[in-house]
Amino acid sequence: MTEKKYDVVIVGAGISGAILAKTISKAGYKVLMLEAGLDQGMELDSQKAYLNYQSYLNTYYNANAKVPNSPYPDLLNAPSPNVLQYNQITGNIPDTSGYFVQKGPLPFASDYTRTPGGTTLHWLGTCLRMLPNDFRLKSAYGHGVDWPISYDDLKPYYEMAEYEIGVSANVEEQKYPGTNENFFGKDYVFPMKKIPQSYLDKYFNRHLKNTSIILDNQEYPLYVTSTPQGRNSIPNDSYKLSGPKWESEKSRLALQYSESTSYDPVGSIWDPYTGQRCEGNSSCVPICPVQAKYNALKTIKSANRKNLDIITQAVASKIEVDSTTGRITGVTYKKYPDPNSAQYTTEVARGTIYVVAAHSVETAKLLLASGVGNSSDQVGRNLMDHMVMLVWGLMPEKIFGFRGPGSSSNIPVFRDGTFRSQHSAFIMPIDNWGWNWPTGAPNSNLSDAVVNKNLFGKKLRNYINDTVTRQFNLHFEFEQLPEATNRVTIDTSYMDRLGNYRPVIEYNVSNYTRSAFVTAQDIKTQIFAKMGVYDFTKYNTTDSDYFTYENTGYSFYGAGHLVGTHRMGFTKADSVVNREQRTWDHENLYLVGCGNMPTLGTSNPTLTMAALAFWGAENIIKALK
């Protein structure tokens, strides 16, 4: 491969890498992006892109277990974690059945996708901003750490992220605890109007009227809010922003305002007229057949492709550093021509500035493998996720689930509050797909009816119609605190077939979060009683993430919200990157991604990561000048 030198070398073609590549290439600089996934996954134009995506869809249709990574190729040369391979960990014996080496005590429960476009291929698309107190958890509540930046600092970048992803929401409906009327910019609106709320959402809202929860002697009235999401809907005529563009004279990145601007939803990468609206495929996780849901390939496609080179099937294995100056001199990568073979050639990518945007776990892994950027000893540490506790049952009436986006509304009431001095905040998304997640419905119900209940013929039809249409599922997604002992490390005993490290994970959930499960169960009891729900929630001692707290058992799932592993901070003593997202240790090495987040809050982190990516791009362009 050519040893051409670029202005910027980016490791990772997920949403962070894509935003960086687009922004920096459009500012006139030469960018190289390295991606571990397949060539054919990076096809951006018409027929090949269409055929590649159809192959994902076909794999999905034929998958026995339709888990988040099921449509996408599992590459032995660049493995992705698989939720089906998580097991309880007994004693000191690590579980090595999957890509992760899980040392426990609890198995880390989330996955991600190493493919062009990254995890945005399988994400749900929820786009919530973090709340102001999430950035100052230590000052406000005495737990965790403070960010070296505030919500207000990030606000303009959130607007850029909402433009780039294409977020649908009604701003006047977004009422969050701990915020005031200045939370959104003056006159700010979202690019598209909200995704219509589901029949179930509206049912919930009606029945929860005048319901309050008493917590810590405070009253919390319950209400349901539509969820902002990266999913195409009806464009908002009042939205007049485009860009973001690098404004050289002002040395900043900014959205462009014009009265004559109107927002055009971005459809599929193979055909702009496909996917202009959500069509109700009800399969967002793991795949949107029409690409009405945002994925990062759309951003890569709209980069300045004359200034952007992309090398796929290229797994970064080492960041090369000049030990005297501390400057990064290259990224060594293993280029494999054939995914079915472990054969590879070693190449080096060279640039002025280097960015690792390979997702929290992979970025940390690469830094550790290279012995780079870790004077703080924080690389790999502070791994966090949202613990997802599901509660499910039958409504007294049919609510017709299994339709629409995975979630179109949430109860935001406990995203912030004084209780955070005692236990985790949490968000409560309403799930539109019945018991699909906790029990594998409707398939599991059908098989149970046939095999255990001995139903057949019309009686079977009526039974399934009468019961499964009343299924609903409510999530409690809990914030986790940063802890040094929750970490990713590497070990030469655990390598993949290309000779790169597998992530070794130590993980647990503290009482700060566990005690919130107790509160959540109380809330569930009240809600179920109010709505007359027939409760079917069951946590099994054999669930991989089962734990007990105060003599009660709970299970959780991972939300896929992996953050914290190379966090931003005030000083180099306890953080990996500064507020510019530049590593403290290396002047020309930036890290961009959820790994930069010192706390998680209660929002899906992708929108925050995208905002940080725009800010990172701005800093990098400034550094290049």
For binding to other proteins (CB under 8 A), which residues are involved? 57-58, 60-64, 66, 196-199, 202, 233, 277-283, 287, 289-290, 398, 400-405, 408, 432-434, 442-443, 446-447, 450-451, 454, 456-461, 464-465, 468-469
513: its two tokens: 């979060």
Question: Minimum CB separation from other proteins for residue 474, in Å?
Answer: 17
Q: Which is nearer to other proteins, 132 or 429 (CB)?
A: 429
Scanning the structure block, which residue is given the tokens 């994400």?
Answer: 123
Q: Which residues pair with 346 in a beta bridge?
A: 334
Q: Which is nearer to other proteins, 60 or 546 (CB)?
A: 60
- How far apart CA 275 and CA 267 sit, in angstroms, is 5
Question: Minimum CB separation from other proteins for residue 284, in Å?
Answer: 9
- How far apart CA 335 and CA 347 sit, in angstroms, is 7
Q: Which amino acid is at 513?
A: T
DSSP, res 513: H
- How far apart CA 470 and CA 532 sit, in angstroms, is 12
Phi, then psi, of 493 in degrees rounded to 5: -75, -15
Q: Which is nearer to other proteins, 306 or 458 (CB)?
A: 458
Q: Which is nearer to other proteins, 294 or 614 (CB)?
A: 294
DSSP, res 359: -
588: its two tokens: 């020309």
Q: Which is nearer to other proteins, 12 or 73 (CB)?
A: 73
Q: Which is nearer to other proteins, 199 or 570 (CB)?
A: 199
Question: Minimum CB separation from other proteins for residue 59, in Å?
Answer: 9
- How far apart CA 531 and CA 95 sit, in angstroms, is 42
- How far apart CA 76 and CA 341 sit, in angstroms, is 9
Q: Which is nearer to other proteins, 199 or 549 (CB)?
A: 199
215: its two tokens: 């917590």
Q: Which is nearer to other proteins, 465 or 493 (CB)?
A: 465
Question: Minimum CB separation from other proteins for residue 66, in Å?
Answer: 7
Question: Minimum CB separation from other proteins for residue 282, in Å?
Answer: 5
Q: Which residues pair with 414 in a beta bridge?
A: none
Q: In this structure, are residues 315 and 75 in contact, taking their beta carbons and an 8 Å threshold? A: no
Length of the chain: 625
Please count the helices (runs of H) and the strands (runs of E) in the chain.
Answer: 12, 23
- How far apart CA 268 and CA 486 sit, in angstroms, is 38
Q: Which is nearer to other proteins, 280 or 396 (CB)?
A: 280
Q: Which is nearer to other proteins, 450 or 573 (CB)?
A: 450
Q: Any idea of the CA torsion for 201, 206, 210, 213, to the nearest 10 degrees?
A: -30
Cβ within 8 Å of residue 70, ≥6 positions away: 59, 60, 63, 286
Question: Minimum CB separation from other proteins for residue 457, in Å?
Answer: 4
CA distances, 606 to each of 157, 242, 596 (Å): 13, 20, 12
Q: Which is nearer to other proteins, 53 or 501 (CB)?
A: 53
Question: Minimum CB separation from other proteins for residue 197, in Å?
Answer: 6
- How far apart CA 433 and CA 134 sit, in angstroms, is 29
For residue 171, give the 3-state DSSP assignment.
helix
Phi, then psi, of 527 in degrees rounded to 5: -65, -45
Question: Minimum CB separation from other proteins for residue 227, in Å?
Answer: 13
Question: Minimum CB separation from other proteins for residue 276, in Å?
Answer: 9
Q: Which is nearer to other proteins, 445 or 606 (CB)?
A: 445
CA distances, 285 to each of 107, 277, 280 (Å): 22, 17, 13
Distance spanning both ends of the chain, measured CA to CA:
28
- How far apart CA 61 and CA 64 sit, in angstroms, is 8
Question: Minimum CB separation from other proteins for residue 278, in Å?
Answer: 6
Question: Minimum CB separation from other proteins for residue 341, in Å?
Answer: 27
Phi, then psi, of 6 in degrees rounded to 5: -105, 165
- How far apart CA 292 and CA 443 sit, in angstroms, is 26
- How far apart CA 28 and CA 39 sit, in angstroms, is 25
Question: Minimum CB separation from other proteins for residue 289, in Å?
Answer: 5
Question: Minimum CB separation from other proteins for residue 231, in Å?
Answer: 10
Q: Which amino acid is at 294?
A: Y
